[in-house]
Amino acid sequence: MTRLYKNIFILTGAGISAESGLSTFRSENGLWNNHRVEDVATIEAYYRNQDFVHQFYNDMRPELFAAKPNPAHLAITKLQKEYPADNISVVTQNVDTLHEKAGNNNVYHIHGQINQIVCMHCGHVFETWGDITSEDSCPKCGTTAMLKPNIVFFGESLLYMDVVDRLLSKCDLFISVGTSGVIYPAAGFVQIAKAYGADTFEFNMETTSNNYLFDKHIYGPAGTTLPQFVDELIKAAK
Ligand code: APR
């Protein structure tokens, strides 16, 4: 790693939060907190049974509120503080707020955030860690039964894609941490980064669906491997 990187793009997935005790999506039984994704993370499910979907996220909020960042999240803060790049951004598929709790800057939640609610009538987004039901109304427009967790459901467009496109076009180092690489468009970001000449590193416990697109693979728990990698990057820049 003798190259001095100027623009670092860090893509994270559920695996970076695993050592904080949060479940990943594609565990053995393929369920997300014991629910099929189709039943709780599609716009059809939301319109079919709004309160069932609300309850799934209401149940999740306390756990995510209490979760603590692990050394992988903290390593990103260290990199942002000590590595002489022009920009180090975190594009996360996670809806938890562990990157922010760890002190990471430039964090973009392309799949949304568990502590945000969006009004499907006026588009207003507000924050809460509490429960939401179909009886609640929008604090801005007052419309009832049109509030939805600000989480990108299957069938909806991702958030911050204009920022992602700009960051990918400039990045010279692309790091993927804890994502299975099966959900697009995020799984395709590495290919775009490569096309722009970036070095690409993948941090995971095992080989992934798109591992052939990465220059280097660093296997093991991110809470161990990422801090080591960050220390080596910082040392090489001195
Ligand atoms: N360190 C590094 N990697 C880990 C760790 C760990 N401690 N624990 C698990 N992993 C890896 C797993 O091997 C797996 O490849 O993290 C990955 C988690 O994959 P998924 O559960 O598929 O989660 P993710 O890739 O974030 O899913 C992407 O799919 O369901 C949608 O919107 C949802 O954002 C989610 C998207």
The alpha carbon dihedral of 116, 119, 120, 125 has a sign of negative
Q: Which domains does the chain have, with CATH numbers?
A: 1-22+69-111+158-238 (3.40.50.1220), 25-66+113-151 (3.30.1600.10)
* Residue 95 neighbours by CB under 8 Å, 6+ apart: 64, 109, 111, 112, 113, 114, 151
The pLDDT tens digits for 135-149 are 999 999 999 999 999
Our answer on whether the CB atom of 119 is closer than 6 Å to any ligand 1 atom is no
Atom of ligand 1 nearest to the CA of 19: 7
The pLDDT of residue 122 is 97
Question: Is 15 near ligand 1, meaning CB less than 6 Å away?
Answer: yes
Q: What is the mean pLDDT of residues 147-170?
A: 96
201 contacts 174 by C-beta, under 8 angstroms: yes
Ligand 1 pocket residue status of 112, Cβ below 6 Å: no
Q: Is the CB of 33 under 6 A from ligand 1?
A: no
- Residue type, position 82, single letter: E
111 is catalytic: yes
Q: How many degrees, rounded to 5, is the angle at CA 15 between CA 61 and CA 187? A: 105
Q: Inform me whether the pLDDT recorded for 234 exceeds 60.
A: yes
Catalytic residue among 111, 121, 124, 217: 111
Averaged pLDDT, 122-143: 97
Ligand 1 atom closest to 151 (CA): 32
pTM: 0.95
Give the type of residue at 158. Answer: L
Check the CA dihedral 170-88-203-62 and report its sign.
negative
How far is it, in rounded angstroms, from Cα 83 to Cα 230? 9
Q: Write out pLDDT tens, residues 64-103.
A: 999 999 999 999 999 999 999 999 999 999 999 999 999 9
Q: Give pLDDT tens digits for 27-68.
A: 665 556 677 877 888 999 999 999 999 999 999 999 999 999
The side-by-side arrangement of strands in the sheet containing 87-92 is 107-109, 87-92, 7-12, 173-177, 199-204, 216-219
User: Which tokens is 88 given?
Assistant: 């180090």
Using N-to-C axis directions, what is the helix angle for 71-82 and 222-236, rounded to 10°?
10
Sheet strand arrangement including 112-119: 125-127, 112-119, 147-151
